[in-house]
Amino acid sequence: MARADQRLHQLRLFSDLVRRIHASRNLRELAASTLHGLKGALPATFRDRDIPSDLSTCLESALRRAALDNLPINDRIAEMLGSDYAKHAAEGTNQLLHAIEPAAAILDATPDASFDGTTLRLACDHLLDRAQELGAAAVTNAVDAARELEEIGAPAALLIGLDGKLLWLNSAADQVLYRRRLDRDDLVSEALEVALPVIAALRSLEPASAQVKQASRHVRRLRIHLSARLREDTSNPALSLVVVTISEARRSTRLSNRELHMARLIVGMPSYRAVANAANISMDTVRSYVRRIYRKLAVNSRYALKARLAREGVLEDPAAPPARKFSGRIRKKPASEDE
């Protein structure tokens, strides 16, 4: 009877572990749930003494690889990653088993543990399934990213998934296509070329510190500049996306100090004439600055320029003294001053 009660207790603990695994919202929680199940199975005297300090980190790393390896991959990305990646991806389950083996060995070596290492190894399939399910939730994350790209002041941009497919092209990018009379397929093709090295770096076997997270390229035939950056999700890398920004600048896409100063004047002054007077330059020079700044930041109005500067955190000059607000009243001179 005691043996049957012990089996029932092990089954309850295993069910609780599986429930925690499938309730995890990201890979970090998934690793923490597994570690919590391990600590719950050990006697109180063994919990902090025998568990390796890097167990959670190793487990989370294996889960990250499992989530990434489950994503679809196109031929170009597979070619850039090489044959080692295909071999590595095929052994995803073995890597996860290798990561939890130290925890299973602890349970096997502890006589008073609530369940043995075999029970924890059986949970490996549930861990792998949940990691792949979390990786498949990238569509929801893409919707949130697309909403950000449609905000006022957002630059012309495309959203690329880790499978190398276009997910979104915002309205500002549509305006660039219309103004430049560009072919949509040509633009998407060039954007993918810029994004592919960033995607391949994330999906490679390289450590995170050695991965390429940005890339840029000037497309001479389209007369645009493309910059790709990784929109990284640290809790689940399978949800990461690549944002490719379009700039109509011929060379650099960054504003110089003088251009940034002029941009602040343009959005802060009521008219171009006021900008010219404040900067002590001609109206033609002001218009030249406007065209140059608009091209670099891919905006087409003062309102969009102000929103873009606010998004970048450079709307206000930190070195400038705070402006005094005009109250609308004229201070009267004291009688002593008239005398």
Instruction: Please tell me the predicted confidence (pLDDT) of residue 338.
Output: 42
CATH number, position 200: 3.30.450
Task: Pick the last residue of a domain from 90, 114, 135.
Answer: 135
Are residue 22 and residue 49 in the same domain, yes or no?
yes
Are residue 237 and residue 277 in the same domain, yes or no?
no
Q: Is residue 83 part of a domain?
A: yes
Element housing 332 (H / E): none
Are residue 292 and residue 234 in the same domain, yes or no?
no
Q: What is this structure's pTM?
A: 0.61
Instruction: Please tell me the predicted confidence (pLDDT) of residue 277.
Output: 92
Total number of residues shown for the chain? 339
Instruction: Please tell me the predicted confidence (pLDDT) of residue 326.
Output: 34
- Integer CA distances (angstroms), 66 to 24, 27, 136, 215, 288, in order: 15, 10, 12, 26, 52
The 3-state DSSP class for residue 218 equals strand
Q: What is the pLDDT of residues 96-132, one digit of tens each?
A: 777 778 778 877 887 777 777 787 788 888 888 887 7
Distance CA 248, CA 182 (A): 12
Q: What is the pLDDT of residues 250-296, one digit of tens each?
A: 555 578 889 999 999 999 999 999 999 999 999 999 999 998 888 88
Examine the pLDDT at 242 and tell me if it is beyond 60. Answer: yes
Split into its structural domains, the chain has a count of: 3
Confidence of residue 205 (pLDDT cuts 50, 70, 90): low
Instruction: Please tell me the predicted confidence (pLDDT) of residue 1.
Output: 40
Element housing 300 (H / E): none
Are residue 193 and residue 279 in the same domain, yes or no?
no
Instruction: Please tell me the predicted confidence (pLDDT) of residue 140.
Output: 63
Q: Is residue 100 part of a domain?
A: yes
Instruction: Please tell me the predicted confidence (pLDDT) of residue 328.
Output: 37
Are residue 213 and residue 153 in the same domain, yes or no?
yes
Examine the pLDDT at 325 and tell me if it is beyond 70. Answer: no
Distance CA 41, CA 16 (A): 11
**CB-based contacts of 173, cutoff 8 Å, min separation 6:** 156, 157, 158, 187, 246
Distance CA 1, CA 17 (A): 25
Are residue 186 and residue 306 in the same domain, yes or no?
no
Instruction: Please tell me the predicted confidence (pLDDT) of residue 12.
Output: 80
Domain that holds residue 109: 2-135
- pLDDT-wise least confident of 31-35, 167-171, 255-259: 31-35
Q: Is residue 335 part of a domain?
A: no
Q: Is residue 297 part of a domain?
A: yes
Distance of CA 76 to the CA centre of its chain: 22
For residues 41 and 302, the model is more confident at: 302
Are residue 235 and residue 156 in the same domain, yes or no?
yes
Examine the pLDDT at 324 and tell me if it is beyond 50. Answer: no
End-to-end CA distance of the chain: 110
CATH number, position 304: 1.10.10.10
Main-chain dihedrals φ then ψ at residue 32, nearest 5 degrees? -65, -35
**Cβ-contact 13, 114 below 8 angstroms:** yes
Are residue 223 and residue 286 in the same domain, yes or no?
no
Are residue 146 and residue 126 in the same domain, yes or no?
no
Characterize 82-97 residue by residue with b for buried, 16 or more Cβ atoms within 10 angstroms of its Cβ, and e for exposed. Answer: eeebeebbeebeebbb
Q: Is residue 252 part of a domain?
A: no
Q: Is residue 284 part of a domain?
A: yes
Confidence of residue 239 (pLDDT cuts 50, 70, 90): confident
Average pLDDT over residues 225-247: 84
Q: Is residue 318 part of a domain?
A: no
- pLDDT-wise least confident of 199-203, 231-235, 261-265: 231-235
Of 253, 213, 208, the closest CA to residue 231 belongs to 213
**CB-based contacts of 286, cutoff 8 Å, min separation 6:** 262, 266, 272, 275, 276, 279
What is the DSSP annotation of 161-215?
Answer: -TTS-EEEE-HHHHHHHHHHT--HHHHHHHHHHHHHHHHHHHHSSS-GGG---EE
Task: Pick the last residue of a domain from 80, 112, 135.
Answer: 135
